[in-house]
Amino acid sequence: MDASFWYERWERKEIAFHEDEVNDFLVTHFASLNVMPGARVFIPLCGKTRDIAWLMSQGYQVVGAELSELAVQELFEELEVDPEIITLENHALYRAAGIDIFVGDVFALTPDMVGEVNAIYDRAALVALPLETRKRYTQLLVTLTSCAPQLVISYQYDQSKLDGPPFSISQEELFQHYQAQFEISQQDLKAVEGCLKGQVEAVESVWLLQPTSC
């Protein structure tokens, strides 16, 4: 799937992936990352998630990456914040106190652009990408953030019964991507209420990735 897929989803308001409330797993398990208030949290493919407002309310700084400028505009409208907008290489950077959001291709970001990252919260990025892109993406995060610890939310279901996104990410795949740099532990899981997209039984899991080497 290319960029036009996501542009069209936002333009048509086909954003079932956008949660109306703060994610329960984030609230319950973010503390397991063991980062202090004031730390900088990277949210890849962030959309306009309400999780950003929650993190900021807890005293964290947020740096995000999002392909759709419409999503980012709506994010700041909902935050009731007027951002400064600057051009940084091939991205637009929307910024305000405690928040920096890059608009553009996440794969074009560099460590110098993003700056220091103390933790990663991945609720909707890994599961949004097809397999070959996931391989590039996971290595990008390692490089971009110098192996910052991660809280990763994933789904497990019979992929033959439903096309992604969100894609099913098995424990084995997660370990293939990350076990060389991280200790990986499952923190929680729950059945998806009403089935995923109302079509297939699925489990939602949250994983803690703590760096062991980089």
With 0-12 / 13-18 / 19 or more C-beta atoms within 10 angstroms meaning exposed / middle / buried, residue 35 is middle
142 touches 152 (CB < 8 A): no
Beta-bridged to residue 19, according to DSSP, are: none
* CB burial of residue 107 (10 Å; 0-12, 13-18, 19+): exposed
Is residue 29 packed enough to be buried (19+ CB in 10 Å), middle (13-18) or exposed (0-12)? Answer: middle
Question: Is the distance from CB of 181 to CB of 192 less than 8 angstroms?
Answer: no
The one-character DSSP state at 101 is E
Binding region: 10, 45, 66, 123
Query: What burial class does residue 80 get, using C-beta atoms within 10 Å of its C-beta: 0-12 exposed, 13-18 middle, 19+ buried?
Result: exposed
Sheet strand arrangement including 119-122? 84-88, 91-96, 99-103, 61-66, 40-44, 119-122, 150-157, 202-211, 182-191
Residues that constitute the known binding site for S-adenosyl-L-methionine? 10, 45, 66, 123
Q: Which of 207, 7, 46, 26 is nearest to 125 (CA)?
A: 46
